[in-house]
Structure 1
Amino acid sequence: MTLSPYAGPVAGLPPQTDLTTDTAIFTEAYAVIPRSTMRDIVTSALPGWTGMRMWIIARPLTGFAETFSQYIVELAPEGGSDSPDDDPEVQHAIFVTEGSLSLDVGGQGHELEPGGFAYIPPGTAWRVANSGRDTTRFHWWRKRWQPAPGTTRPDPIIAREQDIAPAMMPGTNGAWGTTRFMDPADLRHDMHITLVTFEPGGSIPFAETHVMEHGLFVLEGKAVYRLNRDWVEVGPGDFMWLRAFCPQACYAGGPGRFRYLLYKDVNRHAPLWPTG
């Protein structure tokens, strides 16, 4: 079995001798769910699936982040589903971190390996299965698609992060880059999934404060991340969950690069009614 370059849940259970002190925190502005808390006893399962369990690391909460859910799904060999989600208004994104995944989107079959990405538009039939002999893990984002005047539903996307050249942020000398799975100019999309990379010492040098909600899952490396008024050290397998307008910044700690998967909601009016 080939080791994956992408971190995931630790699973299992810690020994009884371990201390309970950890970096897990939930505030009015952000949450940190560290890898060490993603254990067997906090997994969930879904009807219509076989050989699966998942860690639900984000879900809409009234007054917090309200636009998306994010799962880490673990599939045993031959596990999967012919009907993963029966809500026709929900769009999906998948990023594979371990194993191999057979994905059928609208009758078109695809094989995804670690680094493989898929976007599935709302109202599209899809199926998923573990096509290998080892456990498969993938991230799964769900968001109800919001129509807008002059837009149609986006097309499916199948991609590999290894084939996409990162867009480098100006003035950073290559220290900060973003791998974009959706075209930022395509206003049909109301969410973006990206992979953000910082070289050692790279930083977000100001407190980003904006309307987008965020889910950030650390795939590699370590950093000190500013969340609201706090600086929190994060590393591989940790998850950060930010509500709108939560200030954020970071310093990549090295010695290797710091990388995370990023969700954000984009390209739509701010709703003027309760969304909970």
Structure 2
Amino acid sequence: MSNYYAPRGGLPPQTRLTTDRARFNEAYMVLPRGSMTDIVASLLPFWDDTRLWVLARPLSGFAETFSQYVVEVAAGGGSDRPEADPEAEAVIFVLEGALQLTIDGQEHALEPGSYAFLPPGCSWSARNAATEPAIFQWLRKAYERVEGIDLPEAFVVQEREVEPAEMPGTDGAWSTTRFVDPADLRHDMHVNIVNFQPGGTIPFPETHVMEHGIYILEGKAMYLLNEDWVEVEAGDFLWLRAFCPQACYASGPGPFRYLIYKDVNRHMKLGRPFS
């Protein structure tokens, strides 16, 4: 059974060193798991007994297409008005606890490993009916409509029900769990899970137009970000702008796995010169 790291908040003791792995520059950001403390938690309108940590938000000159949160809903908490933007699509991935998700009147009992896609304009609500907190990833993007292409439908699936696709020539050391068919052009974002066995690697610096939000679910690794090798572990978050070179190798002793966002399947927006 897979493990999914969920933050606990709190505050480091006065004796802890201030040096850490946190980085922010023109190409990438590393947000170590220890950065998610009580003093940087946020609240949202119409969410009861809920707090969240904002991992990524649209930021001019950096990554601009999405926002990503870690949300903690206490027992009895939740929202009947969760989304204020009618054009926002979303993915929810549960890390810990139980979440009752209602989509267009249909109830879904989510548990760790549950994945839900919510298209723009759908009616949904979320409640924690259990006694322990529910903690989940919430990714949001402004959906890019295309004339002649229908909106994608809402769906809920469990990770263990999806067979990972092995990358060619890796003997299973590197695989991807894809929740959406890559050829389905209704979707303008993919949120997948990338899996590495100990010693598995991305053996070249990937350099491409897609932006990334990477939340590390399990394990540890060395990650190449632009020109820097950074050691990362479960609970860390990486934020990569377009064309930032990236690679990694799983340093063990167990699997290394992360939830990854990328924008796909749409033309690049073109600037217009002033007339």
TM-score when scaled to structure 2?
A: 0.97
Question: Is the 1:103–1:112 Cα contact (8 Å) retained in structure 2?
Answer: yes
Determine helix, strand or coil for the equivalent of 1:77: strand
| 73-82 vs 144-153, which moves further | 144-153
Determine helix, strand or coil for the equivalent of 1:85: coil
Q: What is the one-letter code of the residue matched to 2:6?
A: G
Measure the CA separation in 2 of the matches of 1:162 and 1:40: 32
Question: Is the 1:212–1:245 Cα contact (8 Å) retained in structure 2?
Answer: yes
Post-superposition Cα deviations, 1:155-209, rounded to whole Å, max 9, x if no partner, equal 0110000111101100111100111111111100000000110000000000100
Measure the CA separation in 2 of the matches of 1:95 and 1:225: 23
Q: Quote the residue 2:44 is aligned against.
A: 46
Measure the CA separation in 2 of the matches of 1:226 and 1:202: 14
Q: Quote the residue 1:24 is aligned against.
A: 22
Where does 1:120-199 land on structure 2 (aligned, <5 Å)?
120-199=118-197
Question: Is the 1:180–1:195 Cα contact (8 Å) retained in structure 2?
Answer: yes
Deviation at 1:26, TM superposition (A): 0.2
Determine if the alignment matches structure 1 residue 76 to structure 2 residue 83.
no
Post-superposition Cα deviations, 1:13-63, rounded to whole Å, max 9, x if no partner, equal 111111100000001000000001110101000011100000000000001
Measure the CA separation in 2 of the matches of 1:248 and 1:240: 11
Measure the CA separation in 2 of the matches of 1:203 and 1:71: 27
Deviation at 1:86, TM superposition (A): 2.1
Measure the CA separation in 2 of the matches of 1:37 and 1:123: 33
Structure 1: gaps (5+ residues): none
Q: Quote the residue 1:116 is aligned against.
A: 114
Measure the CA separation in 2 of the matches of 1:219 and 1:154: 26
TM-score when scaled to structure 1?
A: 0.97
From 205, 208, 211, the counterpart of 1:207: 205
From 51, 61, 64, the counterpart of 2:62: 64
Q: Quote the residue 1:273 is aligned against.
A: 271
For these two proteins, the number of residue pairs brought into alignment is 272
Post-superposition Cα deviations, 1:210-248, rounded to whole Å, max 9, x if no partner, equal 000000011101000000000000001000000000000
Measure the CA separation in 2 of the matches of 1:247 and 1:260: 17
Deviation at 1:150, TM superposition (A): 2.5
Question: Is the 1:98–1:136 Cα contact (8 Å) retained in structure 2?
Answer: yes
Structure 2: gaps (5+ residues): none
